[in-house]
DNA sequence: TCTTTTCATTTGTATATACAAATATTAAAA
DNA sequence: TTTTAATATTTGTATATACAAATGAAAAGA
């Protein structure tokens, strides 16, 4: 059923969530190749890009709550992809060698994912749409 | 931190989810007035609009899996807002009187929510954005 | 220096959601 | 008619996420 046919659901809440679920699904398929859920892959990408980042800074960057970051880090630590280094009240997060080795494959997944959705949604269209969505998200505040 | 500052997260997956979380938050605040989570409110809205709808049809309309609909219906049944009428392998869902009484208040919440986000995002902008998002969602398929 | 406040993280608990397997029921095939 | 296949829903299990409370550590005030 087309979204437009859902008379009772024609509001921002429904549309945003339905859209996010579909994107999540596409992303899940893509990152199965490295055995990571999209959220885990995103977090690992952040840690790989800035080793030693504080947990709270990661939360701010990913716009998730600190508790969610803790939970995600637990999983990544179980998989030996990151280590948490607690110093006083701060916790710094570092990628392991295993994670560093995974970097090229992760980039490949990201490229593949970008390719998939630009193919489906159009290159310029999706670019503008994402920009617009980011602007909208910023307007909605934290 | 502005989304645009997150260099590592500039992809459709991240943007769509961050946006959906923010919308969810705004919606949660709004529907607290009737003591319902946005997803519950949406489902109840569907049932109120089309009493007797089958569980599977609700799932299709809301673009959620049947199992999720079962779980949501359990909660609404606990709250005495809907009843499930199982006939053979089909289950039809009806709103209770309590739910019908809630209808005006629910409409008020919906109006308030629409007003909130059009005020933040702009009337025409949000309208076009939602349309565009629905089109994108359709393109992504099920 | 000792106490209080603030801050970063983690834990306990709860919700939303999905997938795969189990159930139960109707329809189709033999 | 008996078996087999298809279908609708529910259950078991797992993930992502949040909020509120707990913990632990540093900073500020007395």
Query: pLDDT-derived band of residue B11, with 50, 70 and 90 as boundaries?
Result: confident
Distance of C1' in D11 from CA in A89, Å: 43
Query: Is the Cβ pair B126, A12 closer than 8 Å?
Result: yes
pLDDT tens per residue across all 142 residues of chain A: 454 456 556 789 999 999 999 999 999 999 998 999 999 999 999 999 999 999 999 999 999 999 999 999 999 999 999 999 999 999 999 999 999 999 999 999 999 999 999 999 999 999 999 999 999 999 998 7
Task: With CB atoms and an 8 Å threshold, state whether A121 touches B114.
Answer: no
pLDDT of the residue at B2:
52
Place of tokens 């979380």: B21
Is the per-residue pLDDT at B4 higher than 50?
Answer: no
Dihedral of alpha carbons B32, B34, B38, B40, sign:
positive
Paired tokens of B137:
């969602």
Please report where in the chains the tokens 């437009």 appear, as a residue: A4
Question: Tokens in use for B50?
Answer: 């089309």
Contacts for B117-121: CB closer than 8 Å, 24+ residues apart: B117/A12, B117/A140, B117/B23, B117/B26, B120/A139, B120/A140, B121/A136, B121/A139, B121/A140
H or E element: which one contains B86?
strand B82-87
Between CA A118 and CA B13, with CA A140 as vertex, the angle to 5 degrees is 25
Token pair in block for residue A74: 């637990």
Report which secondary-structure segment, H or E, holds B35.
none
Q: Which of A10, A42, A140, A141 has the highest number of chain B CBs within 10 A, making it the mutation to test binding with B? A: A140
DSSP for A45-109 reads HHHHHSTTEEHHHHHHHHT--HHHHHHHHHHHHHTTSEEEEEETTEEEEEE-HHHHHHHHHHHHH
CA distance A46 to chain B (A): 6
Closest chain B residue by Cα to residue A59: B1
pLDDT digits (tens, 9 = 90+) for B92-119: 999 999 999 999 999 999 999 999 999 9
User: Which chain B residue lies closest to A39 (C-alpha atoms)?
Assistant: B14
CA A77 to C1' D14 (Å) is: 18
Residue B93 CB-density burial (10 A; 0-12 exposed, 13-18 middle, 19+ buried): buried
Nearest to A11 among B10, B110, B139 (CB): B110
Interchain proximity A61–B9, CB inside 8 Å: yes
CA A24, CA A22: separation in Å to the nearest integer? 5
Strands A82-87 and A53-54: unpaired
Residue B36: HSE in the Cβ half-sphere, 13 Å Cα cutoff? 26
Look at residue B78 and tell me whether its pLDDT is greater than 60.
yes
C1'-nearest nucleotide to the CA of A93? C9
- Which residues in chain A are closer than 8 Å to B138, comparing Cβ atoms? 2-4
Report CB contact under 8 Å: B13, A7: no
Q: What is the pTM of this model?
A: 0.92
* The dihedral sign for the CA sequence B23, B26, B30, B34: positive
From B8, B61, B136, residue closest to A1, measured CB to CB: B61
Cα atoms found within 13 Å of the Cα of residue A130, Cβ hemisphere only: 20
Element (H, E) at A133: helix A123-140
Q: What pLDDT does residue A55 have?
A: 96
């Amino acid at each position: 059923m087309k979204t437009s046919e859902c008379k009772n659901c024609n509001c921002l809440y429904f549309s945003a969530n339905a859209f996010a679920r579909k994107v999540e699904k596409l992303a899940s398929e893509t990152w199965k190749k490295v055995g990571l859920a999209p959220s885990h892959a995103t977090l690992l990408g952040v840690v790989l890009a800035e080793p030693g980042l504080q947990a709270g800074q990661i939360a701010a960057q990913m716009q998730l709550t600190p508790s969610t970051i803790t939970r995600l880090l637990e999983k990544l630590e179980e998989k030996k992809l990151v280590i948490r280094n607690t110093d006083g009240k701060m916790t710094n997060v570092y990628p392991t060698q295993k994670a560093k080795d995974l970097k090229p494959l992760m980039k490949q997944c990201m490229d593949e994912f970008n390719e998939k959705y630009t193919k489906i949604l159009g290159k310029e269209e999706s670019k503008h749409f994402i920009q617009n969505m980011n602007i909208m998200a910023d307007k909605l505040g934290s």
